[in-house]
Structure 1
Amino acid sequence: MTQSEILYKNAKTLLNKGTGLLSGYTHSLNPYGGCVFGCSYCYVREMPVALFHEGEWGSWIDVKQNAAELLRKELRRAKAKGKVTIFMSSSTDPYQPIEYKEQITRSLLEAMVEDPPDFLLVQTRSPLVRRDIDLLLKLGERVRVSMTIETDREDIRKHFTPGAPPIAARLETLRLLAEAGVAAQATIAPVLPSTEQFAELLRPLVHRVCVDDYFMGDGSGGRRTRKLGIRSLYEELGLEDWYSPAANQIIYDRLLQVFSAEQVYVGQRGFEP
């Protein structure tokens, strides 16, 4: 990524009302605008934040340089009105590569350690979250890390999300979070083609798994995803059967062979506080 594709800005607001699939939260929070992982199936490509921004999704990023200062103010106001639960993040990955340098997400966690919300879910697919174990531990039971691992097949990952971190690094991060005592879940979302051993691979790493697919998770019954032409990727690999709501059931059944029913969540419920 070149410097010309990075825009430093002062956000006007940071905490947004939780709506739709995030209605279980009082607020959502995005440390950045845009996401350089640029996953092929990302439904955010079909949302206003992407459609009304110059440049292809994945090629630009907005850095909210005033984020921590703004969060402190908005968090105080929100907590004065009642319970505050935060989903971070809904339309960007809080631990994409630029976070190594800018540390916007870390600054937000520091602000929340000072004045904790009632609950925070950190949604990411990046191993960088391990850097902030010290802060996550300070939030204790108020935080859960949700690590996206759509498949255990690296060849599938490279085909659908070539810009995202390798599967092995994400699995290792879950192990480190577990060893440190940070609450975490594996999130198979969206469901991508995987092996029969996937569930066994996750079993020693987490006590909670969330399963979600395009048809539940893109907020439009799969219509946004269809517009992206994702089916052609499945056809190219001869895996059309996996582009179906039935694939979700396959994964769910496999998970139940090694996890209890209370440990496996489906769709929106798996993301809620």
Structure 2
Amino acid sequence: MNPNDRPPTTTAYTTPKTLLNKGTGFLSPYSHSLNPYAGCAFACSYCYVRQLPVALFRKQEWGTWVDIKQQAAELLRKELRKAKTKGPVTIFMSSSTDPYQPAEYKEQITRSLLEVMGSDPPDFLLVQTRSPLVTRDIDLLLPLKDRVRVSLTLETDREEIRRAFTPHAPPIAARLRAGRLLAEAGVPVQATIAPVLPSSEQFPAKLLPWANRVCLDDYFMGDGSGGARTAKLGMRSIYEQLGLESWYTPEAYKVVYERLLRVFPEHQVFLSQDGFSP
């Protein structure tokens, strides 16, 4: 499997009946998950969503289609109001797409959802993304104060590794810059090394200036099946091509974990689900 080989991404407009989904499984610490889009143009080679029904039941290859959810803000406003009558509302955005993928530049679905949550805040919102576009919405994130955390994914600090595994995702340098901008503005932000990819010893030092916490996860802890879903994607072959098989083991994360602890206090380094929890 070559992650570079895929047709262009096509978009379609849908009108969903619901936006807030009950938090289950890995996301059970949250009351709800929220996905502004279906599908994801970043098409990361290791993405566990490739093995979920949302991807398997489509005839198109994962990464080549994105559904844009129309009238999302109006729907969220109603659902949020209703959800709050039943108890605390904690939202994970997003679990099966990137809320700041390329379509967001034009469509601004995610921004419209943040506007709704700005006027009617949930108890907590985690924004999970690997896109520097998140910095565009600093003006909407700041008013949420400690009710929000941006979880910015950087699987590695080596650009050649990023290109081998996620050629359609934003460059590492742009993500590091985004982390700094968020932190300087006062937005709570964590660095999320998920999944752990081969990186340099200097990686933790590049996160320290802006991340007040780091979440570490890998295929074996985080894909919901002990690594079985990821194995079906043929990930081992990419590691073999790069001569980096030693990084494709359940113990590989410990190398990065130990490097992080040389730079970060232990209470700022989290593993898997603990790092994503509210």
Q: TM-score if structure 1 supplies the norm length?
A: 0.98
Query: How do 1:118-267 and structure 2 match up within 5 A?
Result: 118-267=123-272
> Aligned AA for 1:20?
G
Q: Distance in 2 between matches of 1:7 and 1:178?
A: 35
User: Which residue matches 1:19?
Assistant: 24
User: Which residue matches 1:37?
Assistant: 42
Cα distance per residue 1:91-110 (max 9 Å; x no partner): 00000001000000000000
User: Which residue matches 1:65?
Assistant: 70
Q: Distance in 2 between matches of 1:81 and 1:188?
A: 34
Cα distance per residue 1:134-155 (max 9 Å; x no partner): 0000111100000000000000
- In the alignment, structure 1 residue 9 sits paired with structure 2 residue 14: yes
Shift of 1:247: 1.0
User: Which residue matches 2:277?
Assistant: 272
Residue pair 2:260, 2:269 contacting (<8 A) in 1 also: yes
Shift of 1:157: 0.1
Q: Distance in 1 between matches of 2:205 and 2:101?
A: 28
| Structure 1 alignment gaps of length 5 or more | none
Q: Distance in 1 between matches of 2:64 and 2:8?
A: 9
Residue pair 2:128, 2:152 contacting (<8 A) in 1 also: yes
- In the alignment, structure 1 residue 100 sits paired with structure 2 residue 105: yes
Shift of 1:54: 2.4
User: Which residue matches 2:115?
Assistant: 110
> Aligned AA for 1:6?
T
User: Which residue matches 2:86?
Assistant: 81
Q: Distance in 1 between matches of 2:169 and 2:60?
A: 19
Q: Distance in 2 between matches of 1:230 and 1:45?
A: 12
Residue pair 2:154, 2:172 contacting (<8 A) in 1 also: yes
Q: Distance in 1 between matches of 2:216 and 2:63?
A: 25
Runs of 4 or more above 6 Å deviation = none
Cα distance per residue 1:182-226 (max 9 Å; x no partner): 000000000000001101111112110000000011111100000
Q: Distance in 2 between matches of 1:245 and 1:253?
A: 15
Matched residue SS, 1:78 = helix
Cα distance per residue 1:35-67 (max 9 Å; x no partner): 000000001000000001120000000000111
Aligned residues: 272
Q: RMSD in angstroms over aligned alpha carbons?
A: 0.9
| Structure 2 alignment gaps of length 5 or more | 1-6
- CA 1:65–1:2 in structure 2 vs 1: closer, same or farther (change >3 Å)? farther
Shift of 1:2: 6.1
Cα distance per residue 1:217-271 (max 9 Å; x no partner): 1111100000000000000000000001111111100000000110000010000
Matched residue SS, 2:59 = coil
Residue pair 2:8, 2:64 contacting (<8 A) in 1 also: no
Q: Distance in 2 between matches of 1:158 and 1:46?
A: 22
Percent identity at matched positions? 72
